[in-house]
Amino acid sequence: MLLDADDSQLVLVDYQVRLMPAIHEGPAVLANAVRLAQMAQVLQVPVIATAQNPDKLGPQLPELQAVLDQAGARHLAKMHFSAVPEGLGELLRPPQRKSAGNARSLPRHLQKPAEPQEGRSAVVLAGCEAHVCLLQTALELLQEDFEVWVVTDACGSRTERNRDAAFDRLAGAGCELVSTEMVAFEWLRAASHPAFKAVQALIK
């Protein structure tokens, strides 16, 4: 199973100014998050960025925020560690279509149930901390029946051990573990893609 750009949404979790200085290999993690957002913009993949308790941890780092603005990202502030209780699932999945006909005109047993609109089922997920907010968000997205692809080189924790423990648990739960370059080339699929050179330039 390969990632499909037309079926993907990118979620970037908590790359905030007061958190990132404490993250193991933080500059490399941030650089890959920026690349993911740039690739999403080029390939028209929707982007959502979350911020944990922004009054305490601050906004997104400026270099990422600039790219998020260019990509037209939606933002979700949260207090739960997982973004799902704060409405992430609703942002990722379109609302249900209303059933046809006037609800008052038919008995309830004759009314057609609301039909879910077709949406993008694959969530490409990256962020910090891998063993807390990212992990809890990923596990709850799995429960919501999304396909979850965790971009390991764009994820971090304060310690390497916590980060790696998160990856072990995520893989065991059914997440696909990928790298930034894997995402890039699977979204492209072929060197003949019109955006190939633009995306290739981002990862060289």
- Residue (of 190, 193, 196, 164) closest to 177 by Cα position: 164
Task: Confirm or reject CATH 3.90.1300.10 for domain 5-93+119-203, answering yes or no.
Answer: no
Q: What is the pLDDT of residue 115?
A: 47
pLDDT tens-digit series, residues 175-200: 999 999 999 999 999 999 999 999 99
Contact (Cβ atoms closer than 8 angstroms) between residue 64 and residue 37: yes
The radius of gyration of the chain's CA atoms, rounded to the nearest angstrom, is: 18
Beta strands at 96-97 and 115-116: parallel, antiparallel or unpaired: antiparallel
pLDDT tens-digit series, residues 5-52: 999 999 999 999 999 999 999 999 999 999 999 999 999 999 999 999
pLDDT tens-digit series, residues 83-111: 999 999 999 986 554 444 444 455 555 55
- State the Cα–Cα distance between residues 127 and 153, nearest whole angstrom: 10
Q: What is the pLDDT of residue 204?
A: 81
Q: What is the pLDDT of residue 191?
A: 94
Q: Where are the domains of the chain?
A: 5-93+119-203
First to last CA, the chain: 25
Tokens of 58: 């601050």
Contacts of 197 (CB under 8 A, 6+ apart): none
Beta bridge partners of 76: 50
User: For residue 182, how far is the Cα from the chain centroid?
Assistant: 15
Kindly report the length of the chain: 204
